[in-house]
């Protein structure tokens, strides 16, 4: 119930309360549950320059977060936290888990820059997507994920540092603000969600 209320509020923030705007942003998929984040119609471009829809993660659990490549402190910990969580899983479990990190800084985080970051951090798994979106889509995704952010005068960002677990239908089932190490509660939710996935 709390998740549904939270998502409803996030949608209102994302679409400024306009029913027509909300309807225009909904993909033509009646089979999604009402509290799925994948109702947001957004286009992403990943570190390989591949264009993908936000809802392409549908069908398997996804760990999602938002970051920016020039961040020197918190954002590297977001990547490390996902990796440490993944390392506790079996190979079979990892194979069915996606990772989506969406940039808060689309002006600087081009696909080439995201590709350089992926190379620097040795992210070569096809399950990992470092992605950018145009600013309006960044706002929509941040709103529906419950990520607050603000660009600072020096060009840096103040933002929520959180890992978000989405189930196969894009429902938020767990969140963790514990960075730098494995959050046992979040890990348990990941395993449970993987077991429940089709």
Buried b / exposed e across 62-94, counting CB within 10 Å, b at 16+? Answer: bbbbbbbbebeebbbbbbebbbebbeebeeeeb
Return the pLDDT at 29.
53
Helix%, strand%, coil% for the chain, nearest 5: 40, 20, 40
DSSP for 25-39 reads: HS-S-TTS-TT-GGG
Residue in 173, 172, 177, 171 with CA at minimum distance from that of residue 189: 173
pLDDT single digits (tens) 137-151: 999 999 999 999 999
What are 96-110's pLDDT values in tens digits? 999 999 999 999 999
Residue 1 pLDDT grade (very low, low, confident, very high; cuts 50, 70, 90):
very low
Q: Which residue has the tokens 């390392």?
A: 87
Give residue limits of the domains in the chain: 2-196
Q: List C-alpha distances in Å: 11 to 19, 141, 150, 182.
A: 11, 10, 19, 30
Looking at domain 2-196, which CATH architecture does it have? 3-Layer(aba) Sandwich (3.40)
**pLDDT band of 198, cuts 50, 70, 90:** confident
């Amino acid at each position: 119930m709390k998740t549904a209320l939270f998502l409803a509020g996030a949608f209102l923030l994302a679409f400024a309360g306009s029913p027509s705007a909300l309807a225009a942003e909904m993909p033509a998929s009646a089979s999604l549950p009402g509290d799925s984040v994948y109702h947001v119609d957004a286009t992403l471009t990943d570190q390989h320059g591949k264009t993908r829809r936000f809802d392409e993660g549908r069908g398997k659990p996804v760990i999602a977060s938002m970051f920016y490549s020039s961040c020197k402190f918190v954002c590297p910990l977001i990547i490390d936290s996902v990796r440490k969580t993944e390392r506790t899983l079996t190979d079979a479990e990892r194979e069915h888990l996606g990772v989506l990190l969406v940039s808060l800084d689309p002006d600087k985080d081009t696909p080439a820059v995201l590709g350089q970051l992926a190379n620097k951090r040795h992210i070569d798994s096809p399950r990992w997507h470092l992605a950018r979106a145009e600013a309006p889509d960044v706002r929509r995704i941040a709103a529906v994920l419950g990520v607050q952010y603000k660009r600072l005068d020096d060009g840096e960002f103040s933002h929520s540092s959180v890992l978000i677990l989405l189930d196969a239908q894009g429902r938020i089932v767990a969140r963790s603000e514990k960075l730098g190490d494995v959050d046992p509660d979040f890990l348990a939710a990941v395993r449970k969600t993987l077991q429940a996935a089709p």
